[in-house]
């Protein structure tokens, strides 16, 4: 059998002899070379890291497998999080796999069944509270202090340990780090984790340099760029709709130590990149993922020299998480025709003209 | 860079020096060991091949990358298929990636936007005809005879060539083939392709035996088991709702040459397996995928000796393709509570009792 993520990077993860080695097939996601967007950006060597190919459809699985393995090692009876999206999906999957209970606390108003479909399928126990997201998070923090449950929101330090393995994989596959790493920034855990991964590889002599970390926040949810928390963050990209990031400091460290930048992209730029990714690269991602490509195109327009720079954009999750977006931003309406060969042939010939 | 699917198995695929090597990151999907269902089935070594981790979320990407590469080699201007599901999603993704036009013809009545979300996102040109699926398929066959477009429905022989690589991967990872391969049977292309893969590996001396092929059809869509086409196939598992399989003969050959079987599972058995996979293994799949596990459990109940048999169940696609199923078959309703620590604590303690 091939090695799983916890085995492959065991020497760089906080595992002990007592940590159970578990896997749902997370990690080893494709690094795909751009065929069209790289040319648009004047970037000769552009890759996309497809984290949507993880077992629950997002990068969260890398951190969750680590967090759950440690929770099991510590004898936890179950796991708990406040989340309406990718975190709850991933937590519930690993909870089910390991035979422990998963409790998901969500704000009453946010019970969109589509978003919760995975947590429901995996059999998580879902509690909707009469309050907002901050209250939900505060409640799970208090509850996990009192009960033998482990908190698996991003404040769980093992999450970032697992997530940093994506940086390892990129270096392992390319042979060296890229010059630029473009990544969406919401709660800022992922940019923090990638930076940790790149610096650890350099410290171990497994890479000779580190990339510039280029983070991108949505305009209506850009506390780090603005320098203060946003009380009502707004963006079409729900996975980065965060007003007060848990890993704020980590993001600043990544930016400053790497000689990188954290910048703003508008919702229009995100949607444009989301469509380009699907239509020109065959990559259907969740809107938040497209922020990395929106940012790259923005920097290219500002004449950031990308020509001979190897660049990786992190595509954090699959577009299947939010299929309504696809229909909403579709350009081509469905064409209705009679079931007649001649009519169809004429129609198709007219398309080619 | 790691090798892509077409490179890795080049010596076993119908590639020439002129076939372009393309990749969206298909293949190399996880083979995950069962933690709970194996025990239920009395099978000591059970694995799931997670084909939902392919870039468009289903096994179709393996065959599509091969079909599109050959279409490009042959100078085709575009690709065409009749499909409302995984085939159109995969075709549209590779069409977009390669910069050629994808035409999808669907029956008017089947325009469920959720199912078509991917094809729409990838920018396929979708034509809804005033007719049924058979008419749609017949029209694309005629159109691709007349126009410089390549038909990429499963009658395209390169599809099975690409799909057989999943069998290669299983043998490569386990070191030997499994004793049993359990697989859903709809159009029967996949069972045919796996059998081709296993027999080719044996012929090349890369495997010392071949597995027994255990195929499972949904009760209301079981033409191969019944021995005649079904005019109105019915099952909750839409991806195997096929009344007259294109690879009927291939399925019989796989069954007979391997000493295997093709059997029926009911929709209730499929839904039960679908729920078990999510709740006991953390695997959220599309309903059709669960037919392989439903079949395994059925054979176990009939005392097929599985104890020392290594078994692989093919999980053909991700559950995110059909999220409404998850909500529909959820057991646990969402619990609504006030945002109060004491109330939540009491509730969670009551769950543990």
Q: Is the predicted pLDDT of residue B261 greater than 80, yes or no?
A: yes
* pLDDT score for B21: 97
pLDDT band, very low/low/confident/very high, at B110 (cuts 50, 70, 90)? low
- Summarize chain B as % helix, strand, coil (round to 5): 50, 15, 35
pLDDT band, very low/low/confident/very high, at B352 (cuts 50, 70, 90)? confident
Q: How far apart are the first and last CA of chain A?
A: 53
Number of C-beta neighbours around residue A254 at 10 A: 30
Question: Three-class SS of residue B339?
Answer: coil
* pLDDT score for A84: 84
Q: Which two tokens stand for residue B105?
A: 């013809």
Nearest to B94 by CA among A124, A170, A284: A284
Interface size between A and B, measured as CB pairs under 8 A: 273
Question: Three-class SS of residue A78?
Answer: strand
| Residue A78 near residue A125, CB atoms below 8 Å | no
Nearest to B106 by CA among B116, B96, B94, B114: B116
Residue A45 phi/psi, 5-degree rounding, is: -135, 90
As a whole number of angstroms, the distance between CA A291 and CA A215 comes to 9
As a whole number of angstroms, the distance between CA A198 and CA A213 comes to 10
Q: Which two tokens stand for residue A157?
A: 């330090």
The residue of chain A nearest to residue B334, with distances taken between CA atoms, is A126
Q: From edge to edge, which strands make up the β-sheet containing B78-82?
A: A335-338, B125-130, B101-107, B78-82, B149-151
Which residues of chain A lie closer than 8 angstroms to B331, CB-CB?
A: 123
* pLDDT score for B320: 93
Minimal Cα–Cα distance from A248 to chain B, Å? Answer: 27
Q: Which two tokens stand for residue B154?
A: 């499963």
Q: Is B320 on the interface with A (CB under 8 A)?
A: yes
| Residue A59 near residue A317, CB atoms below 8 Å | yes
What tens-digit pLDDT sequence spans chain A (353 residues)?
Answer: 789 999 999 999 999 999 999 999 999 999 999 999 999 999 999 999 999 999 999 999 999 999 999 999 999 999 999 998 999 999 999 999 999 999 999 998 766 666 789 999 999 999 999 988 889 999 999 999 999 999 999 999 999 999 999 999 999 999 999 999 999 999 999 999 999 999 999 999 999 999 999 999 999 999 999 999 999 999 999 999 999 999 999 999 999 999 999 999 999 999 999 999 999 999 999 999 999 999 999 999 998 889 999 999 999 999 999 888 877 877 667 899 999 999 999 999 988 76
* pLDDT score for B303: 87
Is the CB of B282 less than 8 angstroms away from the CB of A96?
yes
Is the CB of A96 less than 8 angstroms away from the CB of B280?
yes
* pLDDT score for A39: 96
pLDDT band, very low/low/confident/very high, at B113 (cuts 50, 70, 90)? low
Q: Crossing angle of helices B341-352/A133-146, nearest 10°?
A: 50
Between B174 and B109, the more confident residue is B174
| Residue B223 near residue B245, CB atoms below 8 Å | yes
Mean pLDDT calculated for residue range B326-348: 87
Which residues of chain A lie closer than 8 angstroms to B141, CB-CB?
A: none
Mean pLDDT calculated for residue range B343-353: 88
Model pLDDT for residues B290-305, shown as the tens digit of each residue: 999 999 999 999 988 8
Output the 3-class SS for B133-182.
Answer: HHHHHHHHHHHHHHCCEEECCCCCHHHHHHHCHHHHHHHHHHCCCCCEEE
* pLDDT score for B108: 87
As a whole number of angstroms, the distance between CA A102 and CA B151 comes to 46
As a whole number of angstroms, the distance between CA B255 and CA B188 comes to 11
Give the pairing of strands A212-218 and A180-184.
Answer: parallel
| B335: region left, alpha or beta (phi > 0 left; psi from -120 to 50 alpha) | beta
Mean pLDDT calculated for residue range B269-289: 97
Is the CB of B335 less than 8 angstroms away from the CB of A135?
no
Using CB atoms within 10 Å of the CB of residue A227, give its burial: 0 to 12 exposed, 13 to 18 middle, 19+ buried: exposed
Instruction: Write out residues 71-110 of B within 8 Å (CB-CB) of A.
Output: 77, 92-99, 101, 103, 105, 108
Instruction: Write out residues 173-232 of B within 8 Å (CB-CB) of A.
Output: 173-174
Model pLDDT for residues B41-57, shown as the tens digit of each residue: 999 999 999 999 999 99
Minimal Cα–Cα distance from B286 to chain A, Å? Answer: 11
Nearest to A323 by CA among B315, B56, B297, B103: B56
Q: Is B1 on the interface with A (CB under 8 A)?
A: yes
For the entire predicted model, the pTM comes to: 0.96
Nearest to A58 by CA among A238, A253, A220: A238
pLDDT band, very low/low/confident/very high, at B331 (cuts 50, 70, 90)? low
C-alpha distances in Å from residue B286, one per residue of A99, B319, B325: 22, 4, 8
**CA A62 remoteness from chain centre:** 10
| Residue A34 near residue B98, CB atoms below 8 Å | no
- Give the closest of B25, B327, B336 to A117, CB-based: B327
The residue of chain A nearest to residue B27, with distances taken between CA atoms, is A30
* pLDDT score for A323: 80
| Residue B9 near residue B273, CB atoms below 8 Å | no
* pLDDT score for B112: 66
As a whole number of angstroms, the distance between CA A201 and CA A293 comes to 25
Q: Which two tokens stand for residue A40?
A: 């648009």
User: Rounded to 10 degrees, what is the CA torsion of A182, A186, A192, A195?
Assistant: 0
Bridge partners (DSSP) listed for residue A335: B127
As a whole number of angstroms, the distance between CA B171 and CA B174 comes to 5
Minimal Cα–Cα distance from B98 to chain A, Å? Answer: 8
Q: What is the ipTM of this complex?
A: 0.95
Question: Three-class SS of residue B25?
Answer: coil
| Residue A59 near residue A39, CB atoms below 8 Å | no
Model pLDDT for residues B131-174, shown as the tens digit of each residue: 888 899 999 999 999 999 999 999 999 999 999 999 999 999 99
Please report the sign of the dihedral spanned by the C-alpha atoms of residue A55, residue A56, residue A58, residue A60: negative
* pLDDT score for B326: 79
Q: Which two tokens stand for residue B304?
A: 């097929």
Q: Is B319 on the interface with A (CB under 8 A)?
A: yes
As a whole number of angstroms, the distance between CA A65 and CA A43 comes to 34
Q: Which two tokens stand for residue A257?
A: 């130590």
Residues in chain A, how many?
Answer: 353
pLDDT band, very low/low/confident/very high, at B351 (cuts 50, 70, 90)? confident
Any idea what DSSP says for residue A206?
A: S
| Residue A292 near residue B135, CB atoms below 8 Å | no
Return the exposure string of B42-64: e unless at least 16 CB atoms fall within 10 Å of the residue's CB, then b.
Answer: ebebbbbbbbbbbbbbbbbbbbb
Mean pLDDT calculated for residue range B99-126: 87
* pLDDT score for A113: 66
């Amino acid at each position: 059998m091939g090695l799983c993520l916890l085995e492959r990077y065991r020497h760089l993860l906080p595992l002990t002899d007592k940590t159970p080695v578990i896997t749902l097939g997370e990690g080893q996601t494709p690094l795909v070379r751009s065929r069209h967007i790289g040319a648009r950006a004047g970037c000769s060597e552009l890759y996309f890291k497809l984290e949507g190919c993880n077992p629950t459809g997002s990068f969260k699985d890398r951190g969750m497998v680590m967090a759950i393995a440690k929770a099991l090692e510590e004898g936890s009876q179950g796991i708990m999080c406040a989340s309406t999206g990718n975190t709850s999906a991933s937590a519930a999957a690993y909870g089910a796999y390991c035979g422990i209970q998963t409790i998901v606390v969500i704000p009453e108003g946010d019970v969109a069944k589509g978003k919760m479909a995975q947590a429901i399928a995996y059999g998580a126990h879902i509690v909707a509270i009469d309050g907002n997201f901050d209250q939900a998070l505060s409640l799970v923090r208090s509850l996990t202090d009192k009960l033998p449950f482990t908190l698996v929101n991003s404040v769980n330090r093992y999450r970032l340990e697992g997530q940093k393995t994506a940086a390892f994989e990129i270096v392992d596959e390319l042979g060296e780090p890229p010059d630029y790493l473009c990544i969406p920034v919401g709660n800022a855990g992922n940019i923090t984790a990638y930076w940790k991964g790149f610096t650890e590889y350099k410290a171990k002599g497994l890479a000779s340099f580190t990339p510039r970390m280029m983070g991108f926040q949505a305009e209506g949810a850009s506390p780090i760029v603005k320098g203060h928390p946003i009380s009502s963050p707004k963006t079409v990209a729900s996975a980065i709709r965060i007003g007060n990031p848990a890993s704020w400091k980590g993001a600043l460290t990544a930016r400053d130590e790497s000689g990188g930048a954290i910048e703003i992209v508008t919702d229009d730029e995100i949607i444009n990149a989301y469509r380009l990714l699907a239509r020109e690269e065959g990559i259907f991602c969740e809107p938040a993922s497209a922020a990395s490509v929106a940012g790259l195109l923005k920097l290219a327009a500002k004449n950031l020299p990308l020509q001979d720079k190897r660049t990786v954009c992190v595509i954090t999750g699959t577009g299947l998480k939010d299929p309504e977006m696809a229909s909403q931003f579709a350009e081509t309406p469905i064409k209705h025709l009679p079931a007649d060969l001649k009519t169809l042939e004429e129609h198709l010939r007219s398309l080619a003209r």
